């Protein structure tokens, strides 16, 4: 049986990271256990990493925001001498399946984006304190930080050597961040990305690869001094008290099904389909920020976000033959809207803000999941607020029209809220409604119906769903769509869906994921990289890869 990859962890289980908290400053150390690889067959030498290392980092970043909101500055540094991070483990990449390589890169991108956005979203600024070799994915860890400091000695450098050494691209946004974020000159970027040895000292500052270079003798002292300066300038309130992110309640069935407290995932492997059902809140929204703080991880909005996030990651990595994800909801849409409204009305309170920001990240995870997505708006559903975003994140939406014989559930409705018009932007910085319509008048027309449940006929007329079907046609039309979708080439579907989901403007984030989806996905299948004589297979042997020199 294939190993099930578990994305749940906690500090008591960490093998690769440790954190020292010092009031408003957290010192985050990357100290990878060489023998702690997620799979057999490789050692994580020189602070190289695999998916297991990144699962821990994602947990660190999440807990930093929820459990330690008092932190204003995070210093990311190495726990080893003479090396910051050697990047993704090459033996792991050489032995991994194509799908695992791409999903690994996608998850690491999402994790990088999360701590990159932590300053804007949560008032937590990340400093990369680079001592020793910082290459490939190691430099990409640093690039995602808000400020990079490099020690000035003969052993410390930054490098993106993937092209000359491995015949692949810097897979977690390296090329994009040096140009779009660091504003590096194109010709110098070309030089940098073809230099195996990288760049050191003042030249790294001059080329905009780092923000500051410091003498080795003063490095540690200066890093802490800079952290204190940034913390003193932070506008984030002091003295915030966090909550505990308690373990998720989850049952994994032999058939692949998952059952949480608010989310259920049913797997039909014969048809390549997963049905994700989210149950809305049973209780009223919190009546105060004190109540929200006391409820902590048990409040519905946070619990549902965490469970949906875990379910999505499980489907991506552990159910790769499942090509179609069906989203369903059940519950009271008014209660969903009330819970969301409480968060938005109290956005100045740190925990309300963090939960909203987390929903933004989870919904982006939906956007970036390479599966066909469909939402079924059935009687008794609760597609309101953040749950309604799933409808517009999906490739299509089907809605029940009028009463169904023998069905006494409340009529199917969609409820637009204030949150649907700005709280959860996509990677292209558009709301999902703006991305859907690409027409301001249609968005404004939909906004006029904010706050009231919209039944099927009007929802179809407003363009909020693709089709609405009555009792006679519903079952057949939905079945035909699901069967047809499962018959298409998954490669063609990935390409089509990735293009159609992100209309409008490009951003650094969409370029990072677009280049991963198209360019790296393609390169990871080329013999020049992964063939028996390719660079990934020959790395470390002293023999360079043999390339087919035809340009395509």
The SS3 call for residue 348 is coil
Query: How far is the CA of 65 from the CAs of 141, 212, 243, 456, in angstroms?
Result: 18, 26, 10, 39
Residue position matching structure tokens 């050191």:
200
| Prediction pTM value | 0.97
Report residue 321 as tokens.
């033959």
Read off the tokens for 264.
């259920």
Which domains, from first to last, does the chain contain? 11-233 (3.90.226.10), 251-500 (3.90.226.10)
Measured in whole angstroms, the distance separating CA 89 from the mean position of its chain's CA atoms is 21
Beta bridge partners of 125: 73
Number of H helices, E strands in the chain: 24, 20
pLDDT of residue 1: 41
Do 261 and 303 meet the contact criterion of CB atoms below 8 Å apart? yes
d(CA 79, CA 30): 5
User: CA 443, CA 240: separation in Å to the nearest integer?
Assistant: 38
Q: Going residue by residue through the chain (552 aa), what tens digit of pLDDT does each one get?
A: 478 999 999 999 999 999 999 999 999 999 999 999 999 999 999 999 999 999 999 999 999 999 999 999 999 999 999 999 999 999 999 999 999 999 999 999 999 999 999 999 999 999 999 999 999 999 999 999 999 999 999 999 999 999 999 999 998 899 999 999 999 999 999 999 999 999 999 999 999 999 999 999 999 999 999 999 999 999 999 999 999 999 999 999 988 899 999 999 999 999 999 999 999 999 999 999 999 999 999 999 999 999 999 999 999 999 999 999 999 999 999 999 999 999 999 999 999 999 999 999 999 999 999 999 999 999 999 999 999 999 999 999 999 999 999 999 999 999 999 999 999 999 999 999 999 999 999 999 999 999 999 999 999 999 999 999 999 999 999 999 999 999 999 999 999 999 999 888 999 999 999 988 888 889 999 999 999 999 998 988 889 899 999 998
Cα angle, residue 224 at apex, residues 233 and 123 outer, rounded to 5°: 35
Helix, strand, or coil (residue 366): helix
* CB distance 145 to 116 below 8 Å: yes
Task: DSSP for 429-440, please give it.
Answer: S--HHHHHH--H
The rounded distance, in Å, linking the Cα atoms of 23 and 73 is: 10
Phi then psi dihedrals of residue 181, to 5 deg: -95, -50
Pick from 2, 3, 61, 7: which is nearest to 248 by CA?
A: 7
Comparing CA positions, the residue from 365, 368, 468 lying closest to residue 412 is: 468
Alpha carbon distance, N-terminus to C-terminus of the chain? 39
What is the per-residue pLDDT for 3? 83
């Amino acid at each position: 049986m294939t190993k099930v990859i578990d994305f749940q962890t906690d500090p008591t289980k960490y093998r690769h990271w440790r954190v020292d908290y010092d009031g408003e400053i957290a010192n985050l150390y990357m100290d990878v256990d060489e023998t702690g690889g997620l799979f057999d067959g490789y050692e994580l030498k020189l602070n190289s990493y695999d998916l297991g290392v990144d699962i821990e980092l994602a947990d660190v970043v999440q807990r930093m925001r929820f459990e330690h909101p008092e932190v204003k500055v995070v210093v990311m540094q190495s726990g080893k001498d003479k090396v910051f991070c050697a990047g993704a483990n090459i033996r792991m990449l050489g032995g991994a399946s194509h799908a695992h390589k791409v999903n690994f890169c996608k998850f690491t991108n999402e994790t990088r984006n999360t701590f990159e956005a932590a300053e804007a979203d949560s008032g937590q600024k990340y400093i990369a304190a680079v001592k020793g070799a910082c290459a490939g994915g190691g430099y990409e860890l640093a690039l995602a930080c808000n400020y990079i400091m490099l020690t000035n000695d003969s052993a410390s450098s930054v490098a993106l050597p993937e092209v000359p050494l491995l015949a692949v691209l810097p897979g977690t946004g390296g090329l994009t961040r040096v140009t779009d974020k660091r504003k590096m000159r194109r010709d110098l970027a070309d030089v940098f990305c073809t230099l195996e040895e990288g760049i050191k000292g003042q030249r790294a500052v001059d080329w905009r690869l780092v923000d500051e270079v410091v003498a080795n003798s003063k490095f540690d002292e200066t890093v802490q001094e800079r952290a204190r300066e940034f913390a003193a300038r932070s506008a984030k309130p002091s003295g915030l008290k966090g909550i505990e992110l308690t373990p998720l309640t989850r049952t994994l069935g032999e058939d692949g099904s998952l059952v949480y407290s608010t989310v259920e995932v049913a797997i039909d492997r014969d048809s390549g389909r997963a049905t994700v059902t989210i149950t809305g809140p049973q209780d009223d929204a919190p009546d105060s920020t004190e109540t929200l703080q006391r409820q902590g991880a048990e409040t519905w909005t946070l619990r549902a976000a965490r469970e949906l996030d875990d379910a999505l990651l499980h489907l991506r990595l552990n159910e790769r033959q499942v090509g179609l994800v069906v989203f369903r909801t059940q519950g009271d849409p008014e209660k969903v809207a009330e819970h969301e409204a409480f968060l938005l009305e109290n956005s100045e309170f740190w925990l309300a803000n963090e939960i909203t920001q987390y929903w933004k990240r989870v919904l982006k995870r939906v956007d970036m999941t390479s599966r066909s997505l469909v939402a079924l708006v059935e009687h008794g559903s609760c597609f309101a607020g953040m749950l309604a975003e799933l409808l517009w994140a999906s490739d299509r939406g089907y809605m029940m029209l009028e009463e169904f014989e023998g069905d006494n559930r409340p009529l199917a409705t969609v409820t637009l809220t204030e949150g649907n018009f700005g709280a959860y932007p996509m990677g292209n910085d558009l709301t999902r409604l703006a991305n859907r319509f690409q027409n301001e008048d249609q968005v404004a027309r939909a906004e006029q119906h904010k706050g009231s449940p919209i039944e099927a006929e009007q929802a179809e007329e407003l363009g909020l769903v693709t089709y609405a079907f009555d009792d006679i046609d519903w079952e057949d039309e939905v079945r035909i769509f699901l069967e047809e979708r499962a018959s298409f080439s998954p490669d063609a579907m990935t390409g089509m869906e990735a293009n159609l989901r992100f209309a409008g403007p490009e951003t650094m984030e969409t370029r990072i994921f677009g280049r991963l989806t198209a360019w790296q996905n393609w390169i990871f299948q080329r013999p020049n990289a992964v063939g028996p004589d390719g660079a990934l297979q020959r790395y470390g042997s002293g023999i360079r890869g043999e390339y087919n020199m035809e340009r395509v």
